[in-house]
Amino acid sequence: MHNAKGFADFLLRNAERTYCFVHEQDLDGIASAAMLAHFFNVPLSNIFFGRPGKRMAEILKRINELKPKGKIIVFADIATNPSVTGMLNKIISSLKANGNYIAWIDHHPLGNESRKILNRCDFLVAEDKDKCASDIIYGIGKGIRNDKSMARLDLLAHISDFNLKDKKYDKVIAEIAGAIHYINGRKDKEKLLRKMAMLVEANRYNDKFIKNAYKKYSMLREAEIGKMLGRLQLHKINKTSIAIGYGKNISSGDACALIHEKTNCDVSVFINTESSTIHFRGYGTECLNIAKVYGGNGHEYASGADLPGIKSIRQTIKEVVSKAKKVYR
């Protein structure tokens, strides 16, 4: 297995035959793409986007279309979770069988099954709790070319991925996050996400493209916020107050922040009825364990999971409460 320096040199020499798969839903993923392009000269057209959970199937599908042989495949910021280890195994096995070099760069907890599978990678950085994926790639890349623009981008990615507050950057980060959310709902998202990556690589955070996408996100969101907040459920589970909302067209970060603002809960829960996913944010109270009950993943204070499908929202909320009772004692 390569060390960081060996990996950096190898990637730099082989950029043209490198394919990257990065997390499409947040700035950490998009910044990872930007840094892979910036430091190692990976062509933007070789960068693809995907997400963790059951929709990892889309990554597998894309790999099956690309049929890479003897290429370098870099995954960045794609979290794994126990419910998708079968799919993860398929991805890694098929890439290995075709003589590809695999680099896996992530920071989320792995779990034993995923670790076993990912140990077959040629380069693996994972589970660095205090770093986001961009921090890791920046750390590897800055030895090649240390310029201020990537340091700035890394700072933004770090603040946003760890949900930190920063007066100077909160507004621009919220705009980027909203723009990414809007773009993810579009059919031509691949082209648009590449454009996002290009803009953040150039530190053009106030570009018209980002502003416009954010405006569209805001319009869709405005229509949903009132409805979502109007039907919140607040539950007290032992000492923990949990507020549960549901809706669509709101990013999980925004939805949970709004729920928290209104209720001052310890844990906010947002059920996205469109993507059939559930999202948790803890305010001084951990929320990774409840996501794990759902087979999900994340961080101590920000986590999420796939839902098997929502047949009845009342039933889904009831299940959240009964699962929460087992976690928050």
Minimum distance from CB of 253 to Mn ion (Å)? Answer: 12
Number of C-beta neighbours around residue 96 at 10 A: 14
Q: Is the Cβ of residue 9 or residue 166 nearer to Mn ion in the bound state?
A: 166
DSSP state of 239: T
Stretch that binds Mn ion, among 57-65, 154-162, 232-240, 262-270 (CB under 5 A): 154-162
CB–CB of 288/294 below 8 Å?
A: no
Smallest gap from Cβ 303 to Mn ion, in A, equals 12
List for the chain the helix, strand, coil content (%; round to 5): 55, 15, 30
Q: Which is nearer to Mn ion, 157 or 250 (CB)?
A: 157
Establish if 154 lies at the interface with Mn ion (CB under 5 A): no
| Residue 74: strand pairing partners | 20, 103
Find the shortest distance in angstroms from Cβ 29 to Mn ion: 7
Binding segment for Mn ion (CB under 5 A), chosen from 159-167, 179-187, 218-226, 263-271, is 159-167
Count residues binding Mn ion (CB under 5 A): 5
Among 24, 161, 201, 306, binds Mn ion (CB under 5 A): 161
State how far the alpha carbon of 316 is from the alpha carbons of 16, 56, 234, 245, 328, in Å. 47, 23, 15, 11, 18
Q: What is the dihedral of CA 19, 21, 22, 25, to 10 degrees?
A: 140
Residue 243 C-beta: closest distance to Mn ion, Å: 25
| Residue (of 179, 174, 152, 178) closest to 163 by Cα position | 174
Q: Is 157 in the site for Mn ion (CB under 5 A)?
A: no
If binding is defined by CB under 5 A, does position 28 make contact with Mn ion? yes
- Which of the stretches 129-137, 178-186, 214-222, 313-321 binds Mn ion when contact is defined by CB under 5 A? 129-137
- Choose the binding region for Mn ion from 115-123, 158-166, 200-208, 279-287 (rule: CB under 5 A): 158-166
| 27-35, 36-44, 217-225, 229-237 -> range binding Mn ion (CB under 5 A) | 27-35
Characterize 209-225 residue by residue with b for buried, 16 or more Cβ atoms within 10 angstroms of its Cβ, and e for exposed.
ebeebbebbbeebeeeb
Q: Which of 24, 77, 135, 201 binds Mn ion (CB under 5 A)?
A: 77
Q: If 0-12 CB within 10 Å is exposed, 13-18 middle and 19+ buried, where does residue 137 land?
A: buried
Q: Which residue is nearest to Mn ion (CB)?
A: 28
The piece of 42-50, 74-82, 141-149, 228-236 that touches Mn ion (CB under 5 A) is: 74-82
- Minimal distance in Å, beta carbon 181 to Mn ion? 15
Q: How far apart are CA 94 and CA 69, in angstroms?
A: 10
Interface with Mn ion, residue 180, by CB under 5 A:
no
- The answer to the question of residue 35 lying near Mn ion (CB under 5 A) is no
Joined together, the tokens standing for residue 311 give 């047949």
Region for residue 53 given its phi and psi (left: phi exceeds 0; alpha: psi -120 to 50; beta: otherwise) = left
Under the binding rule (CB under 5 A), the answer on residue 24 touching Mn ion is no
Total residue count of the chain as it appears in this document:
329
- How far CA 117 is from CA of 53, 92, 112, 242, 327, in Å, comes to 16, 7, 9, 35, 28
Of residues 132, 156, 196, 327, which one binds Mn ion by CB under 5 A?
A: 132
Q: Which is nearer to Mn ion, 80 or 240 (CB)?
A: 80
- Report the alpha-carbon distance of residue 232 to residue 243 in Å, rounded: 7
Shortest distance, position 77 Cβ to Mn ion, whole Å: 4
Least distance in angstroms from the C-beta of 108 to Mn ion? 7
Least Cβ distance, residue 225 to Mn ion (angstroms): 25
Binding site for Mn ion (CB under 5 A): 28, 77, 132-133, 161
